[in-house]
Each structure stands twice: as structure tokens, then as C-alpha cells.
Amino acid sequence: MRSISAPGLFKATNEQAWEEGTNIRTALRIQPEATRGAVISMIKSVCDFVEAKKTLQSLEDFALCAETIFDIFPTLKLEEFRLVCDRMKTGYYGKYFERLKIQEFRECIIKHEEERAPILERINSHITRGADTDRITFEPQSMAELRRKRDPLNIPGLNKTKK
């Protein structure tokens, strides 16, 4: 919570925010009030900074936006959301003259997830699911072939095998 509530711009990269960040669902389970308060304050700071004509204004609007983010993006980390909010302030995702509502926050987070996808693929590329490279792979064999291999008089290449 300290890293996302510090004043000034959040100077983390997408990769740092993912690796060192706290998942929103985990934060909601451990400290629900503090998490909701931090996310709502980040949303409010973006709305105050941008000064769009049509924007979120009441506490209910900010809370609805936060709950929507919690529901739609369960894998988002708090540090990533802080990064998205700071980038929205600097115009990284475009300019907001007329409107800054829940949909614009959603679009910015989707753009962030598109940028994050190659990083996650690179981080998780070493995982091989279900394939252990040190294990010997066995090929299926018939019982007759197994009997021939167990035969002490069978010398490969010398004896002719009957098929």
C-alpha cells in the first residue's frame, strides 16, 4: 500500500509492477477497506487531474468504478493500476477532453493488459506443463515383442524376428 500511495509519479515498468505487485483480489481479502480506499483515491486523482467535461463526480460513481474494476480485472495488481492511472494523467493512452467515465478506465486497463501480455509470455515461457525433460518416454510394444527381447538366445541383428 505504501508504494501505490506515495506522492508523485509511479516510476515502475510493466514488468516491475507485475512481479512486485499485490493482486487486487488478495488485497481485498486481506485489507478490504484500505484497498477500496486506495483504488477510489487513485480514480479520483485521475478525474481531478484530467478535468474532462463529463466525468465521475460523486463518491458512488468512484465506488462503482472501483467495484467494476475489481470484477472485470481480477488479475490486475494494485501497482499496475497505479501505473495505468499515472499514464492516464500523462496522456499515454490518449487525451480525455469530453468524457472520463468507467468505460475509459476499462479501455486503458485493456490497453495495459495488451502491453503486459508479451511480458507474461516471456516470464512463463519456461514452464512446460506435463512434460518432464528428464523422464524416459516409453513406446508401446506388443507382448510378443517383449518376449523376444527377454529371450536370452535372441541376439539383435543375428536372429531373424518373425512378424
DSSP 107-150: HHHHHHHHHHHHHHHHHTTT--TT--TTSPPPPP--HHHHHHHH
Q: Where are the domains of the chain?
A: 2-123
Query: Is residue 125's pLDDT more than 70?
Result: yes
- In this predicted structure, which of 10-14, 42-46, 74-78, 88-92 has the lowest mean pLDDT? 10-14
Using pLDDT thresholds of 50, 70 and 90, give the confidence band for residue 93.
Answer: confident
Most confident of 31-35, 94-98, 153-157: 31-35
- In this predicted structure, which of 71-80, 132-141, 148-157 has the lowest mean pLDDT? 132-141
Mean pLDDT of 78-82: 91
Q: Where is pLDDT greater, at 43 or 96? A: 43
The alpha carbons of the chain give a radius of gyration, in whole angstroms, of 28
Average pLDDT, the chain: 81
d(Cα 81, Cα 42) in Å, to the nearest integer?
8
